[in-house]
Structure 1
Amino acid sequence: MVNVLFFAELQEAAGSEKINVEADGLSVNELKTKLKSSHDLANLDHAMTAVNEEYSHEDTRLKSGDTVAFIPPVSGG
């Protein structure tokens, strides 16, 4: 299982700040596709992604026990 954390509007769209997903061996991109089909996360492609507290790329492979955080863009005013 992979722990998935959502922040800001992604948290609201997912209905939770944290979920556990079977994603061992998937890439970050494959996880995004899986989450978009199971949750209302249309803006997921615009989010920054961190795996185990380090920013990651779309091709990063996940393993059981990883924590993936999706952080939407922030705008200031």
Structure 2
Amino acid sequence: MNIKTLFFGITTDFAGASELQIVVEENISIKDFKYVLKERFNQLENVNTYAIAVNEAYATDDVIIKTGDVVAVIPPVSGG
């Protein structure tokens, strides 16, 4: 299935775009999706932590991505 994936901050540089369609197997978990991302964009290994959101809600590793979901890759944010 194709997953609309949005990238923010430094992850946009790693992906080379702010939005991509990523092909994954049906009913993939967030944990497995992170693995797919790291395989495709190995520079994500340089980001210690990043959050994943599905349909604008933060998602844990056990959440299953479904057809039509929009996934966002959100790097750590700092500032004052």
The answer to whether the superposition gives a TM-score over 0.5 is yes
CA distance in 2, matches of 1:28, 1:43: 19
Once the two structures are overlaid, the 10-residue window that deviates more, 43-52 or 57-66, is 43-52
- 1:51 maps to what in 2? 54
The residue aligned with 1:32 is 34
Q: 1:25/1:44 Cα in 2 relative to 1: closer, same or farther (>3 Å)?
A: farther
- The alignment yields a C-alpha RMSD, in angstroms, of 1.5
**CA deviation vs aligned residue, 1:7-64 (integer Å, no higher than 9, x gap):** 0000011111111112331101101101111113224561111100111111100111
The count of corresponding residues between Structure 1 and Structure 2 is: 77
Q: Does residue 71 of the first structure (1) align with residue 71 of the second (2)?
A: no
Report the TM-score when normalising by structure 2: 0.86
Which AA in structure 2 matches 1:56? A
Once residues 45 and 65 of structure 1 are traced to their aligned partners in structure 2, the CA distance between those partners, rounded to angstroms, is 28
Take 1:25 and 1:43, find their aligned partners in 2: how far apart are those partners? 27
* Structure 1 runs, 4 residues or longer, greater than 2 Å off: none
Residue 36 of structure 1 contacts residue 44 of structure 1 at CA under 8 Å; is this kept in 2?
Answer: no
Unaligned runs of 5+ in 1: none
> Are residues 57 and 48 of structure 1, via their aligned partners in 2, closer, same or farther at CA, if it must alter by over 3 Å?
same
Q: Identity rate of aligned residues, in percent?
A: 38
**Structure 1 match to 2:20:** 19
Q: Which runs of 5+ in 2 are unaligned?
A: none
